Structure 1
Amino acid sequence: MGIKTPIAANPLRCRADLELAFNQLAKPLLPYYSAGGARLELNGSGAGQAPDVAQMEGFSRMVWGLAPLAAGSGKIDDELLQIVLKGITNGTDPGHKEYWGEVADYDQRLVEMASLGLALAIAPQRLWEPLSAEAKQHFYNWLNQINARKAHDCNWLFFHVLVNVGFYKLGLPHAKDQLEANLNRLEEFYLGDGWYEDGVNGHSDYYVPLSFHYCGLIYAALMKEEDPERTARFEERGMVFARQFANWFAEDGRALPYGRSLTYRFAQGALWGAYAFAGVQPFEPGVIKGLYLRHLRWWLSQPIFSSDGVLTVGYSYPNLIMAENYNAPGSVYWAMKAFLPLALPEDDPFWQAEELPLPELPEVTVQQAPHLVICRQSERDHIAAFNAGHRSTNEHTHTSAKYEKFVYSASFGFSVPRAEWGLSQGAFDSMLALSEGDNLYRVRRKNEETDIDGDILISVWKPWRDVTVTTYLVAGLPWHLRIHRIETARELDVAEGGFALPLDPSLVVSRPSGSVIGLAGFGSSGISGIHGYERAELISVQSNTNLMHQRTAIPTLQAMLEPGKHLLISAVYGEPGAKDVVNPDQWRERIKLSVDAGQIMVASPSGKEIIIRR
């Protein structure tokens, strides 16, 4: 397990605290810089990119925090500054053994150029001017490779934009036409309501705030005079998105774990700092400051560090099982994007504002672009995202777990499979898992149809070509309802998982008829079989499958289905901080359900009614 470091005691209330936090994160890295300074040689597992590229990645990701600190005339450890200047000099020198190399199309180094472009744009006095004339030319030549290489047709296009804005700000030759073409292409990914898709048919996940809006607001701040129409558009979209994005955050600062690249941790809330940097105010400054600082405080109190203070791969604890193929040991330092407000002086309104709580947020928020309905139980500070699912998929690691579960909770987290054998290894929380009796389970990965009607979500998916599942979710907290119509040409074992409950010595398990409910110090989780299930049990799953909790158990309903048509109905419960065992029929207080021979009638908490033919 990672350990807490002195940074956990940092109050993170003001600019000086944030400056200290950057230096607290940076200092443990000093011994890991290579002799030439161009690589960050962290110990750990391998990734999809070659080791030298991964080490260059670690170097560049630290610059996301260093550049704003340098721009804001902050105190930088002189050893760190000299290493970085040496690293830029040697990494871009074709004659040096630590040269970062010739870049290919779709190369990871194209991503890593963006922080260096930002450094040129906002902190040339400390990260450009000290270089020799020869080093400046090498630096420019190496970065300029981005103008001759293809980038993935997604958020990557913004990295090209930042590099060329850096060139422009220094009066260096830049690819004006390609810059304009990429900005126009990025426009085509806009979906409305502040949301982008990450490339054609891509997901709308944390890459929207972390790349599209984050980079868009940087562009708006730096290019307002040169490109007023586009920058105004970026600002307006950012304003609209903030009112959507605030719903992803709990009052204590934690955010919804959803989608890929979650090991970047407090990059989740980096956008709030970008609003401050760009002077864009979707809420009053104190509200933005509160969202930003509470998020950092929550993250930096988690055990996410190694014994020497280096950030680990994982989510709320070190965990390689949940990682992406592209997560190298230094990848996690994309989290440094959260330090953008260090570019602002102490007297900026953002730093002078009194920290305020969350704005007033609705109990239920429908977000069509990411296919989510966000529910908030304020008295427990619990937020959960109910998910209609997507009609496309990809080859990223654990895509089903990261994008296709029925619900994602900021408190209970979600789980990824450890291996392929059985319910313990599969860790199927918030999923319907189906097997042909061979103990190998399939879950929802992509959908034939999806729809959201208020607080009711509908999807049609086919785990096999001759098995069709139509899923209806009735969203709500602490209870929600799941209904599945299954048409199958084969015998199936099915397992319906609720929220994963952290195992605790105080755990008490209650098994009312057809239900299982666990109560521990953390809270309570349970599931009740209403129709079609045969048994309920609390399944202890393998360790380190859940992103939030190292050891968990999942309340699970099971049944065996013959070929034909079937109906499964369950009520699922999750409540952090609960102190008493809940009545398994409590869901009936908010959700109305009637089942007869021909149809099912459901009335949701909001009063939405649907009729489902059996």
Structure 2
Amino acid sequence: MPVAPYLRLPPTDRVLSSRTGWTRAHWEVTADRMLDALVPYATPGLAQYRLPGRSSWSGIVCDGLEGFARSFLLAAFRIAGAGGAVEPALIERYAAGLAAGTDPDSGESWPRITDCSQQMVEAASIAVALHETRPWIWDRLDTGVRERVAEWFSGFVGGRTWDNNWRLFQVVSEQFLASVGAPYNRTDIESGLDRIEDWYVGDGWYTDGDGQNFDYYIGWAMHLYPLLWSRIAGPDDGGRTAVYRQRLSRFLEDYPHFFGADGAPVHQGRSLAYRFAALAPVWMGALADCTPLAPGLTRRLASGTMRHFAERGVPDERGLLTLGWYDTFLPSTQPYSGPASPYWASKGFLGLLLPADHPVWTAREVPLPIEEGDRYTALPAPGWLLHGTRHDGIVRLVNHGSDHKPPFDPDAALTDGEEDPHYARLAYSTATAPESAPHAAARGIDNHLALLAPDGTPSRRGRIHRSHCAGRTAGSWYAAELPGDDREYRIGTTSVLHGPWEIRVHEVEAPAGATVREGGHPVAHALPPVGASGPGWSMARTAEGLSSAVVALHGWDGAPGTGPGAAEVARDVESNAYGPHSATPCLRLDRHPGGRSIQVSLVALSRDTLHPEVLREAVSVRITAGEASVVLTFLDGTTVEVGTDAGRAEGAEAGRA
């Protein structure tokens, strides 16, 4: 799509911004449109914005507070970035909302901040916005209003938050109280900052709370709030700021590899309705003067992503952000998501705090990594492989680490209940989304190797147990369970990247009679994708030419005592954030004989025309003696040997001998 359908934007500048055409003026116009669109939904005193859409589990009043707080963050970046030179009405709206929201007699006052309440999340946005706009809003508020605001924030003092990124909401809010001379608890701040040290896992990565919780919250929360805190704390930071800057710098070295040439971020994790909030760490790197990215790359990445959404109707015709990705799509949201929740996307406008003459706004754009060549990036901290291909601009994420499960308990069941399709899948990409509607997620087809019970119930990839992640390979296993069967069956997978392909080597334990099924990437569109299948291959293709294929390389064609292999295209409707019609290519092996088997498949996602019937010629598979390893040989002569559990066990026995 060449233009943003619902925005009247300035002319593009193809000299300064040869890749995107966007300048600072485009960002300002987009911010102004989003802010103006909220006015019809304001309560009379402007303390709440009650937007249309599904309510959250917190109720309409808290949802209204969310509308104020998150849009105030956007307004703050716009006001402060312009040095206060904005329409006076914008400043007046939020000043009036602060007065009414903290007045118990206004009829639209905000709920008190209590332990683990949603108000804690929103208060942090208000605290940041008040700090950044202090000369234009806080310093001009009546003394009584300032006292009421501080008293409302006092609900944090000595309070309890959820033990994850929420700890940082308390840190930022109480530091704001300290900055305005209001009562606060220094221990709350220090303990919150100390707690995130437990979650730092290296190479710039945190986990969001205990466990393997890796997603965009690492960027738009775990890296963002510590450095927002340091902006409020100033020199009284106890030396922490230098550490946070170094960690963010390391994180940003790899972060551009998460974005496709069209600006799309990899579609993985929760709260995806925040969309371009994924840009927050990129802007913060420049704001905190710790980015390893060239100024022209910072703007290329940020403007490319903002333009990507604008060209696909975000914000919508009303100027609003909906609960979804492009259009409204509730299965990609969570119960805590209300109609104003998407306005955490305001964090994506953090770059407006940088002055207009800053190099990120004045330097010429430079290409993204994927625009310069194919890229392979191993991220051992989250257990991910990234591979991007220049010719079609797609980035694919191979997941062998993030499962959003509680911390490992050796005495607990390994499966830990239900899986989340935004974490449990083997792969994600910038061009596809997982099948996340409940009816489709229950089928568990896309990017998953499952055992099927006789009634068709699939095993779930719950806790991910890592084995390795380096170079172009990564591996993990999960414990499969089937209804009526008390045993757990080990399903191990090693992913090998080569060109645009992922080769999956599966080691499958299964009960006799079970069906083994594997799905590739789901593709979705407004029109039904075309599907095709043949002996040992299956493919789906959208009207725009995005193709997904899965090809059997070994172990899918049946063996003595098993049923025949099969290939098919699984279709669904209203199950995918990328379009109402979706299709997933998959392979199936019926009547597993029981015990252990090896299945090898090639998974492809491309905007090229795919010929899956010949893709099996691209790689040959050899199983070594005793099934100790699987040797993959590609047409270019590259050879990769993948060790198996049998081989490792044999090595262990030899070592004992």
Corresponding position: 1:407 with 2:427 = yes
Please list the CA deviations of residues 521-557 of structure 1 after superposition, one character each: whole Å capped at 9, or x if unmatched. 322211112323511111212x232222331111111
Measure, in 1, the Cα distance between the counterparts of 2:240 and 2:399: 32
1:587: Cα distance to partner? Answer: 5.3
Evaluate the alpha carbon distance shift between residue 397 and residue 208 of structure 1 in structure 2; reply closer, same or farther with a 3 A threshold: farther
Name the structure 2 match of 1:523.
Answer: 546
Please list the CA deviations of residues 427-485 of structure 1 after superposition, one character each: whole Å capped at 9, or x if unmatched. 62111233212133232111345432432222221121332212222234422222322
Name the structure 1 match of 2:623.
Answer: 595
Q: How does 1:316-395 map to 2 (within 5 A)?
A: 316-359=326-369, 363-390=375-402, 393=405
Q: Which is further off, 386-395 or 203-212?
A: 386-395
Q: Is the CA contact 1:191–1:369 (under 8 Å) kept in the aligned structure 2?
A: yes
Give the counterpart letter for 2:273 in structure 1. T
Name the structure 2 match of 1:478.
Answer: 500
Give the counterpart letter for 1:386 in structure 2. V
Q: Is the CA contact 1:32–1:41 (under 8 Å) kept in the aligned structure 2?
A: yes
Give the counterpart letter for 1:143 in structure 2. F
Name the structure 1 match of 2:571.
Answer: 540
Q: TM-score under structure 2 normalisation?
A: 0.86
User: Of residues 428, 438, 441 in structure 1, which corresponds to 2:445?
Assistant: 428
Give the counterpart letter for 1:586 in structure 2. L
Please list the CA deviations of residues 265-295 of structure 1 after superposition, one character each: whole Å capped at 9, or x if unmatched. 0101122121222232312211112111111
- SS of alignment partner, residue 551 of structure 1: strand
Evaluate the alpha carbon distance shift between residue 326 and residue 477 of structure 1 in structure 2; reply closer, same or farther with a 3 A threshold: farther
Corresponding position: 1:83 with 2:93 = yes
Give the counterpart letter for 1:431 in structure 2. H
Name the structure 1 match of 2:411.
Answer: none
Please list the CA deviations of residues 7-45 of structure 1 after superposition, one character each: whole Å capped at 9, or x if unmatched. 274557332321211111111111001122111111211
Name the structure 2 match of 1:229.
Answer: 239
Evaluate the alpha carbon distance shift between residue 160 and residue 462 of structure 1 in structure 2; reply closer, same or farther with a 3 A threshold: same
Name the structure 2 match of 1:469.
Answer: 491
1:233: Cα distance to partner? Answer: 1.0
Q: How does 1:64-463 map to 2 (within 5 A)?
A: 64-72=73-81, 73-227=83-237, 229-359=239-369, 363-390=375-402, 393=405, 399-419=419-439, 426=443, 428-463=445-480
Evaluate the alpha carbon distance shift between residue 245 and residue 587 of structure 1 in structure 2; reply closer, same or farther with a 3 A threshold: farther
Give the counterpart letter for 1:126 in structure 2. W
Evaluate the alpha carbon distance shift between residue 59 and residue 489 of structure 1 in structure 2; reply closer, same or farther with a 3 A threshold: same
Evaluate the alpha carbon distance shift between residue 597 and residue 345 of structure 1 in structure 2; reply closer, same or farther with a 3 A threshold: closer
Name the structure 2 match of 1:491.
Answer: 513
- SS of alignment partner, residue 496 of structure 1: strand
Measure, in 1, the Cα distance between the counterparts of 2:158 and 2:527: 59
Corresponding position: 1:582 with 2:611 = yes
Measure, in 2, the Cα distance between the counterparts of 1:577 and 1:199: 37
Measure, in 2, the Cα distance between the counterparts of 1:339 and 1:101: 27
Q: Is the CA contact 1:256–1:408 (under 8 Å) kept in the aligned structure 2?
A: yes
- SS of alignment partner, residue 364 of structure 1: strand
- SS of alignment partner, residue 157 of structure 2: helix
Measure, in 2, the Cα distance between the counterparts of 1:396 and 1:319: 27
Evaluate the alpha carbon distance shift between residue 151 and residue 476 of structure 1 in structure 2; reply closer, same or farther with a 3 A threshold: farther
- SS of alignment partner, residue 538 of structure 2: strand
Q: How does 1:22-37 map to 2 (within 5 A)?
A: 22-37=31-46
Q: Is the CA contact 2:532–2:538 (under 8 Å) kept in the aligned structure 1?
A: yes
Evaluate the alpha carbon distance shift between residue 123 and residue 188 of structure 1 in structure 2; reply closer, same or farther with a 3 A threshold: same
Q: Is the CA contact 1:380–1:575 (under 8 Å) kept in the aligned structure 2?
A: no
Measure, in 2, the Cα distance between the counterparts of 1:97 and 1:164: 27
1:350: Cα distance to partner? Answer: 2.3
1:78: Cα distance to partner? Answer: 3.8
Measure, in 2, the Cα distance between the counterparts of 1:203 and 1:22: 31
Give the counterpart letter for 1:212 in structure 2. M
1:140: Cα distance to partner? Answer: 0.6
Measure, in 1, the Cα distance between the counterparts of 2:6 and 2:254: 34
Q: How does 1:497-576 map to 2 (within 5 A)?
A: 497-503=519-525, 508-520=530-542, 521-530=544-553, 531-533=555-557, 534-541=565-572, 543-562=573-592, 564-576=594-606
Measure, in 1, the Cα distance between the counterparts of 2:465 and 2:603: 28
Give the counterpart letter for 1:481 in structure 2. I
Corresponding position: 1:58 with 2:78 = no
1:174: Cα distance to partner? Answer: 3.3
Measure, in 2, the Cα distance between the counterparts of 1:532 and 1:413: 26
Q: Which is further off, 308-317 or 476-485?
A: 476-485
Give the counterpart letter for 1:385 in structure 2. L
Give the counterpart letter for 1:489 in structure 2. P
1:97: Cα distance to partner? Answer: 2.1
Evaluate the alpha carbon distance shift between residue 601 and residue 494 of structure 1 in structure 2; reply closer, same or farther with a 3 A threshold: closer
Q: Which is further off, 124-133 or 292-301?
A: 124-133
1:51: Cα distance to partner? Answer: 1.9
Give the counterpart letter for 2:41 in structure 1. Y
Q: Is the CA contact 1:593–1:601 (under 8 Å) kept in the aligned structure 2?
A: yes
1:314: Cα distance to partner? Answer: 0.7
1:156: Cα distance to partner? Answer: 1.1
Q: Which is further off, 81-90 or 107-116?
A: 81-90
- Unaligned segments of structure 1, at least 5 residues: none
- SS of alignment partner, residue 364 of structure 2: coil
The RMSD of aligned alpha carbons is 2.7
- SS of alignment partner, residue 191 of structure 1: strand
- Unaligned segments of structure 2, at least 5 residues: 13-20, 407-414, 482-486, 558-564, 647-657
Evaluate the alpha carbon distance shift between residue 254 and residue 528 of structure 1 in structure 2; reply closer, same or farther with a 3 A threshold: same
Evaluate the alpha carbon distance shift between residue 507 and residue 178 of structure 1 in structure 2; reply closer, same or farther with a 3 A threshold: closer
- SS of alignment partner, residue 104 of structure 1: coil
Q: Is the CA contact 2:509–2:597 (under 8 Å) kept in the aligned structure 1?
A: no
Q: TM-score under structure 1 normalisation?
A: 0.91
Evaluate the alpha carbon distance shift between residue 307 and residue 588 of structure 1 in structure 2; reply closer, same or farther with a 3 A threshold: same
Measure, in 2, the Cα distance between the counterparts of 1:303 and 1:476: 35
Measure, in 1, the Cα distance between the counterparts of 2:226 and 2:275: 21
Evaluate the alpha carbon distance shift between residue 53 and residue 396 of structure 1 in structure 2; reply closer, same or farther with a 3 A threshold: farther
Q: Is the CA contact 1:535–1:557 (under 8 Å) kept in the aligned structure 2?
A: yes
Please list the CA deviations of residues 331-385 of structure 1 after superposition, one character each: whole Å capped at 9, or x if unmatched. 0000011111222222223222222222567721110111101111112111111
Evaluate the alpha carbon distance shift between residue 282 and residue 8 of structure 1 in structure 2; reply closer, same or farther with a 3 A threshold: farther
Evaluate the alpha carbon distance shift between residue 224 and residue 233 of structure 1 in structure 2; reply closer, same or farther with a 3 A threshold: farther
Q: Is the CA contact 2:373–2:390 (under 8 Å) kept in the aligned structure 1?
A: no
Evaluate the alpha carbon distance shift between residue 137 and residue 371 of structure 1 in structure 2; reply closer, same or farther with a 3 A threshold: same
Measure, in 2, the Cα distance between the counterparts of 1:195 and 1:74: 36
Percent sequence identity over matched residues? 26
Give the counterpart letter for 1:401 in structure 2. P
Name the structure 2 match of 1:42.
Answer: 51
Give the counterpart letter for 1:14 in structure 2. T
Give the counterpart letter for 1:527 in structure 2. V
